Amino acid sequence: MVENRSDTFEIGGEETVHRLGYGAMRITGEGIIGEPEDIENAHEVLRAAVDLGIDFIDTADSYGPGTSERLIREALLSDPEYRDRVLIATKGGLLRQPSTEWLPRGDPEYLRNALLCSIDRLGVEQIDLYQHHRPDPDTPFEDSINTLAELQDDGYIKHVGVSNVSVEQLDQAREIVDVATVQNEYNIVNRNDEEVLAACENYDIGFIPWYPLAAGDLGEKADVIESVADEHDASRYQIALAWLLEHSDVTLPIPGTSSIEHLEANVAASAIDLTDEQYDRLTS
């Protein structure tokens, strides 16, 4: 039986979750706009994720917008069988446009309203992990983080995270609030934020790599990944996930899918043990 065999990480030093999570962006409609074509399938994928041992689900108010959060409430948080088995992380700070644009909005008034809307859509009194989605060039970064710190003090947020930040911005945020997680683009092909990951390791902060499978574009790594995949009778995407789990003890990959079959394949990657030689080949 497929089950999540990844080891665990304590978010904020308090919330223990398996390191392989699930990203809930793809359960929305085409272009990450509106409802999916099959709402019940989205519900089934979310419940299947928890049944397979995933206890960390990441979403954002901009996915839909609002659709992903509502689906999570309907499938999980309104059901006593599931609501206490999963930690939900969401994000605010991007304004979704029908033209597919994602516009940074980090001003305090916007973030306060976004947080309250997320609480309403999720049907909770407190967000487990609330992340600032992207620094806004028109708003001082400190103002955005101060707003989240105030909302945490008011009891609306349990843990604060940041996303798409540099090491300098992470340090700025840490001077204001206890940062539980960082979510940046990172995968076996794109390791531009290695310094941010190293900082997270140093501070014992969870590092959530978005785009963990590079949307299947494995570039110059494709051949070596394929060879290791053959050695494990696995897919190259499973090897890319296994590498992320092996690469650092603080990584929390959140591959997303709208397919139960793909979900099961992603979870199965948590059982792949790379040899030192295989890891070195993939990393070099």
Q: Which residues pair with 209 in a beta bridge?
A: 184
Residue 97: pLDDT band (50, 70, 90) is confident
Residue 216: what pLDDT? 67
Residue 59: pLDDT band (50, 70, 90) is very high
Task: Note if 110 is an active site residue.
Answer: no
Residue 133: what pLDDT? 98
Task: Tokens for 268, please give them.
Answer: 């199965």
User: Which H/E stretch holds residue 50?
Assistant: helix 39-51
Cα(126)–Cα(120) distance, rounded to whole angstroms?
10
Residue 214: what pLDDT? 75
Cα(257)–Cα(259) distance, rounded to whole angstroms?
5
pLDDT per residue over 224-277, tens digit each? 999 999 999 999 999 999 999 999 999 999 999 999 999 999 999 999 999 999
pLDDT per residue over 195-232, tens digit each? 999 999 999 999 999 988 776 677 788 899 999 999 99
Residue given tokens 């039986």 in the structure block: 1
State if pTM tops 0.85.
yes
- Catalytic: which of 63, 130, 156, 186? 63
Cα(125)–Cα(138) distance, rounded to whole angstroms?
30
pLDDT at residue 23 above 90? Answer: yes
Q: Are 206 and 14 in contact (CB under 8 A)?
A: no
Residue 215: what pLDDT? 65
Q: What is the Cα 215 distance to its own chain's centre?
A: 15
Cα(139)–Cα(145) distance, rounded to whole angstroms?
11
Widest CA span in the chain: 53
pLDDT per residue over 170-179, tens digit each? 999 999 999 9
pLDDT per residue over 114-147, tens digit each? 999 999 999 999 999 999 999 999 999 999 999 9
Write down the mean pLDDT value for the chain.
Answer: 96
Strands 127-132 and 157-163: parallel
- What type of residue sits at position 187? N
- What type of residue sits at position 82? Y
Residue 185: what pLDDT? 96
Mean pLDDT over residues 14-33, rounded? 96
Cα(206)–Cα(6) distance, rounded to whole angstroms?
14
Cα(68)–Cα(90) distance, rounded to whole angstroms?
10
- Among the listed residues 253, 187, 241, 265, the one whose alpha carbon sits nearest the alpha carbon of residue 219: 187
